[in-house]
Structure 1
């Protein structure tokens, strides 16, 4: 079950006419069919508040969990780095390794309004379960920036949405994760924001 939780949290966050640069805040909630992993336990362990920041194909996600602290995607390395509170090391995943398979995809227009944005819905039927994403073109992203980012089905999402999600529902069977945007803040960011901490110890992720 810990492996399932870890994998699905790796999923999951300029001017509006261009690629979005800035920050999106999300509330995160959980549903669990495992009686030993209650939603409130997952929220405490993995976090219920997420801040997702993006610029030029790099992104960082900070979350307030007691276990999961932050994740960083560095485009030049095509790696996703994850910091857990129970390890001094930062674990990395090769983002070219998908770890899943998208079986079918469907877009439904104008399904929901979030923060004043009229959102389309993308439904991905995957080997791991069903993933639903809600997005608006004003939060644009160039799919070419993530063409090698297969991990977590990310390229499967952005190649169809061409935008960032304002809401997502990721279902793996025993676990379902809901993320809903609470604030969108366009702002200019320094490239150094997406650098690993100096002297950090790196290890390949076991998951």
Structure 2
């Protein structure tokens, strides 16, 4: 059960951006609905937190969470690895972003479905082996999907190749849980490259799950 929860948490985070890609920070509010009899909504909330601060510059991104289990994630494009720091591990655990245990079976695109923070958003629905994933995005907050062509993990490139923009709302529905994440603040800015470097002294190891 512990291995299952950690794997789900890693996927969530990941699941967890014009010709020029958006650079800056987006703050999301997260909520969870458990479908597992042994894990409550509150336990998912405690593990993952209610707030995710996500920053992107070029092909690098970083997420910081206020939960008790997952602390931060950094995607380092030079390594094509996603590093995750969890409270119960001294090492930052890495996943090879070229690997993806999930698979997109089909997709649907719906225009002008919702408005979020003043942005009219389309809806991209990915029907996956793991369940249904919905992404709401505006092309005004575009990302060059080609920068992430080797980032298969978490269906990231599959989503970007169709949306071409950072999601402002995400709903991931699986047999284990439903998570809804919606942007509460968008802060375009030129970011310090040091934000996307692993903290000094960080030790790493391959994620065993």
Question: Which residue, out of 156, 169, 172, partners 2:174?
Answer: 172
Normalised TM-score (structure 1): 0.95
Question: Which residue, out of 120, 128, 131, partners 1:129?
Answer: 131
- Residue 90, structure 1, aligned to residue 92, structure 2: yes
The number of equivalent residue pairs is 206
Q: Does structure 2 conserve the Cα–Cα contact (< 8 Å) formed by 1:8 and 1:170?
A: no
Equivalent runs, 1:34-183 vs 2, <5 Å = 34-183=36-185
Counterparts in 2 of 1:184 and 1:70: CA distance versus 1, 3 Å: same
Following superposition, the deviation at residue 6 of structure 1 comes to 2.3
- Residue 194, structure 1, aligned to residue 196, structure 2: yes
- Residue 32, structure 1, aligned to residue 41, structure 2: no
* Structure 2 residues not aligned, in runs of 5+: none
Counterparts in 2 of 1:204 and 1:4: CA distance versus 1, 3 Å: closer
Q: What is the match of residue 2 of structure 1?
A: 5
Q: Does structure 1 conserve the Cα–Cα contact (< 8 Å) formed by 2:15 and 2:156?
A: no
Counterparts of 2:208 and 2:13, CA distance in 1: 13
Q: Does structure 1 conserve the Cα–Cα contact (< 8 Å) formed by 2:10 and 2:84?
A: no
* Structure 1 residues not aligned, in runs of 5+: none
Counterparts of 2:92 and 2:78, CA distance in 1: 17
Once the two structures are superposed, residues 93-132 of structure 1 have per-residue CA deviations (whole angstroms, 9 ceiling, x without a partner) of 0000011110001110000111111000000000011000
Q: Does structure 2 conserve the Cα–Cα contact (< 8 Å) formed by 1:67 and 1:84?
A: yes
Q: Does structure 2 conserve the Cα–Cα contact (< 8 Å) formed by 1:12 and 1:177?
A: no
Cα RMSD after superposing both structures: 1.5
Following superposition, the deviation at residue 178 of structure 1 comes to 0.7
Counterparts of 1:195 and 1:101, CA distance in 2: 29
Following superposition, the deviation at residue 3 of structure 1 comes to 4.2
Q: Does structure 2 conserve the Cα–Cα contact (< 8 Å) formed by 1:171 and 1:177?
A: yes
Q: Does structure 1 conserve the Cα–Cα contact (< 8 Å) formed by 2:27 and 2:185?
A: yes
Following superposition, the deviation at residue 148 of structure 1 comes to 0.3
Structure 1 segments, 4+ long, off by >3 Å, are none
Counterparts of 1:192 and 1:120, CA distance in 2: 33
SS of the residue 1:10 aligns to: helix
Q: Does structure 2 conserve the Cα–Cα contact (< 8 Å) formed by 1:23 and 1:185?
A: yes
Following superposition, the deviation at residue 193 of structure 1 comes to 1.1
Counterparts of 1:7 and 1:61, CA distance in 2: 11
